[in-house]
Amino acid sequence: MEGFYSNFHLKALAKVELANQVKQSFWLITRCFSFTETSLPPGGVLLCKIGKTAIMLAISNDEEEEALFSRARKNGYLLCKGRVGSMKAEKVISSIETAGIREGMLDGSYRQEHALYHAVLEALRGICRGDIGLGDYNRTVGLTFSIVIGLKDERSVSEENWIAVGLYGTIGAPKKGHEHEVMGLGISHI
């Protein structure tokens, strides 16, 4: 099981050279629906909130990331993390969509992409604090994004999956040091 983990992790780390600046560290354990059919992991449910998981993954540094992976793994979450920087909102959107599809988190259907798209738009509204706009507002973002698929929370073990997108980074003028932090979270049924 641990080897299975490492393999996937290495696969992801090898993808650093992506054209659209998306670096993904991806972790696949078991899909969430199998979680409800099996017994709880030893030690029980440690962190089973899809939104909090997405937020913590987005704000985590490398060290915290490892701890998050082993916690989320016990709850059967499917996770993906990457980075994107742009003055164009569509680049942020398409990078996250590409990451979700390439890492096999989505099944390729329009339904699932529609769910991811709306989660991304909602997270972007947190980033832009209102209307979505980057270059038009003379501002640029540098963001870490997370995608999480799984249980909405510990009370919804019998339900189907939800999807959460977390965004964390900086927004500001295209000038070094002239930026401050931003955060966004979007959640949709999938």
- 3-state secondary structure at position 29: coil
28 part of the interface to a copy of itself, by CB under 8 A: no
Assess contact for 148 and 79: CB atoms under 8 A.
Answer: yes
Q: Which DSSP letter does residue 36 get? A: T
Least separation in angstroms between CB 10 and a copy of itself: 28
What's the CA gap between 81 and 62, in Å, rounded? 11
- Binding test (CB under 8 A) with a copy of itself, winner from 66, 137, 142, 157: 137
Phi, psi angles (nearest 5°) of residue 60: -75, 145
156 part of the interface to a copy of itself, by CB under 8 A: yes
36 part of the interface to a copy of itself, by CB under 8 A: no
Helix (H) or strand (E) holding 25: strand 25-27
Q: Is 54 exposed, middle or buried (0-12, 13-18, 19+ CB in 10 A)?
A: buried
- Binding test (CB under 8 A) with a copy of itself, winner from 18, 45, 59, 157: 59
Binding site for a copy of itself (CB under 8 A): 49-52, 55-56, 59, 88-90, 93-94, 97, 109-111, 113-115, 117-118, 121-122, 125-126, 129-133, 135-138, 152-153, 155-156, 159-160, 162, 164, 166, 168, 172-173, 177-189
